Amino acid sequence: MTKKIGIGVIGCGNISDAYLKAAPQFGVLNMVACADINLSVAEEKAATYGIEALSVEALLADDRIDIVLNLTTPQFHVEVGKKALNAGKHVYSEKPLAVTMKEAMELVDLARETGLRVGCAPDTFFGGSHQTARKLLDAGEIGAINAGSAYMMVPGHESWHPNPDFYYKAGGGPLLDMGPYYITALINMIGPVSSVLGAATRSYEKREIGSGEREGESFDVEIDTHISGIMTFVSGAQVTITTSFDVHKHEHNHIELYGTKGSMVVPDPNCFDGDVKISEGSGDWVTAEQTHKYGDGNYRILGLADMAQAIVDDRPHRASLELSLHVLEVMEGILTAADTKAIVEMKHLCKRPEALPDSLPFGQLG
Specify the CATH number for the domain of residue 172: 3.30.360.10
Contact 32, 65 (CB under 8 A): yes
CATH number for the domain spanning 80: value is 3.40.50.720
When pLDDT is cut at 50, 70 and 90, the band that residue 162 belongs to is confident
Give the closest residue to 93 by CA, choosing from 365, 328, 361, 273: 328
Q: How far is CA 251 from the centre of its chain?
A: 24
What total of structural domains would you count in the chain? Answer: 2
| pLDDT score, position 166 | 85
Separation between Cα atoms, residue 286 and residue 52, nearest integer Å: 49
- Tens of pLDDT, residue by residue over 101-157, are 999 999 999 999 999 999 999 999 999 999 999 999 999 999 999 999 999 999 999
Q: Which of 254, 287, 320 is the last residue of a domain?
A: 287
Contact 77, 93 (CB under 8 A): yes
Q: Could you list the residue range(s) of the whole structural domain that residue 45 is in?
A: 5-120
* Residues 107, 245 within the same domain: no
Domain presence at residue 172: yes
Domain presence at residue 60: yes
Give the closest residue to 305 by CA, choosing from 293, 317, 314: 317
Cα atoms in the 13 Å half-sphere on the side-chain side of 164: 29
To the nearest whole percent, how much of the chain has pLDDT over 90? 92
The dihedrals phi and psi of 242, each to the nearest 5 degrees, come to -130, 125
Separation between Cα atoms, residue 26 and residue 360, nearest integer Å: 13
CB proximity list for 364: less than 8 A, separation 6 or greater: 26, 27, 28, 309
* Residues 199, 245 within the same domain: yes
**Average pLDDT for residues 61-70, to the nearest whole number?**
98
Tell whether the model's pLDDT for residue 1 goes beyond 70.
no
Q: How far is CA 14 from the centre of its chain?
A: 16
Domain presence at residue 297: no
